[in-house]
Structure 1
Amino acid sequence: MADPTPVFDDLREESEELDRLVAELSPTQWALPTPAPRWTVTHQIAHLAWTDHAALLAVTDADAFRTLAEKALIAPDSFVDEGAEEGARIPPAELLPRWREGCTALATALRTAPPGARIPWYGPPMSAASMATARLMETWAHGQDVADALGVVRPPTDRLRHVARIGVRARDYAFGVQGLTPPAEEFRVELIGPSGDLWAYGPEHAPQCVTGPAHDFCLLVTRRAHRADLAVRADGPDADRWLDIAQAFAGPPGTGRAPKGAAR
């Protein structure tokens, strides 16, 4: 990315939108369950505060982050839930400013990171722009969980372009984490952005393709909605399989969301 400023700005705006959603919540609302099993609104913000802190360490103190990452390796399937559970024990009146301070500190660290710096993470090292993109994706996805818990409909924005791009680039990872061999050929992905423009990825004449609204695609790759409830379509057997397993985030895929109306 030649100029990373736009993604830094979009990360700030995404965080501000979520802040507006939770700033005036009552204690009862903070305790509302979200679609993530056993996670309340408080757990969602606690998780974001925890991961922002980890990202800040990765940018500013690689040794401290390495120690944190080693702890994660001891319990790879539970350390995320444990971090959220620990943070959720903090009263919202203390948790909210802690999350805000972490957002601000991370934003500053990313903007001032040396050009070309490679930041360690739980997967491969990444650039400051890629780290900001990943944080935006997670902020949007967990913000969706909060919005669902509150019964709020958030208008999609063109900031979703970053989420869509991660989802496309993570195609082979999604196959691999399921123990499947990724397809040898690229797919064509054509998405209609919130402003009505076309977001296209992959070879124009690829034999397999995925099409649909960008918002629906982002819900799919963050596993915030079931494929059956989205207007994302695949042409080709491998592309069709991808829509069942797509994920834009690192780590276990989880169970995903049940279709609307499914028995619980």
Structure 2
Amino acid sequence: MYSPSPAERFFEDFHQRRPGTTSAAFAHLRSDRHESSYAALAATLLPSSSPLTVLDLACGNGYLLKLLDELCPGRLHLIGVDMSQTELDVARSKLPNDVRLLKERAQALSITTASVDVVVSHLALMLMDDIERVLGEIHRVLRKEGTVVAIVGRGFLLGPVGETYSQVFREVAAQDALAHLPMGDPRMRTETGWLELFNKDFEAVTFEDIDVSWQPDFAELWQSLSETYDIDRLTPAARVQLKERLSTSISTLEQPDGTYVTGWGLRMIQARAR
């Protein structure tokens, strides 16, 4: 019988309390080439004019599914999978009835073998337990030469703001006695590790680094950071302390208009099923 890991229990609780946090944080942030990291994923499907069955793995509140439906009306058969019922309920409220939504784990999909043309995933794959089993399930449901396209994390906050935040967070977390919570396989932090993981069942693996720009004022910065997994796990007192120390520590980085120059380091991975 399946028993969720501590990380999975945390993710399920977090997304029950905070549905839609990922799209709220990233849907409006541009890169040099794309309107958003979601748009970067969607762009990989646009060159084809053929009907496609597309699975969004860890679809959250359905933001990417809705974008795909709007960009390719009538051409895509869309399926969304997520382990959070709260996120799926939000997705159901905004998506057409013909979009199929499933409450499942990526490690054990009910989807028919060789029935999917493209698997997409936005900022979720690198957090999943037993990634080899996940990739095995992705390969199983894909048709031969089907593709998987995923946006994964490459870094946290960019530039001096990110460096300062990381230092302050480590100090506050240590004082708060924040327990270590493993999230994802360490191999998913490097291109070499991803190549090792994809090597069994996939070929033509490519990587594209995507930096999305962001110039928030401190209120916007803190609002977004406060909805990240690590800060959510701090005690209320530690969150207050982190906010105060971060504000002081990055004050010299504030621009004349009251904003800070930063962003997020992302990576897009594409691969073809053997």
State if a TM-score over 0.5 links the two structures. Answer: no
Q: Say which structure is richer in helix.
A: 1
Q: Which has the higher contact order (CA 8 A, sep 6+)?
A: 2
Q: Say which structure is richer in strand.
A: 2
- TM-score, normalization: structure 1? 0.29
Q: Greater CA radius of gyration, 1 or 2?
A: 2
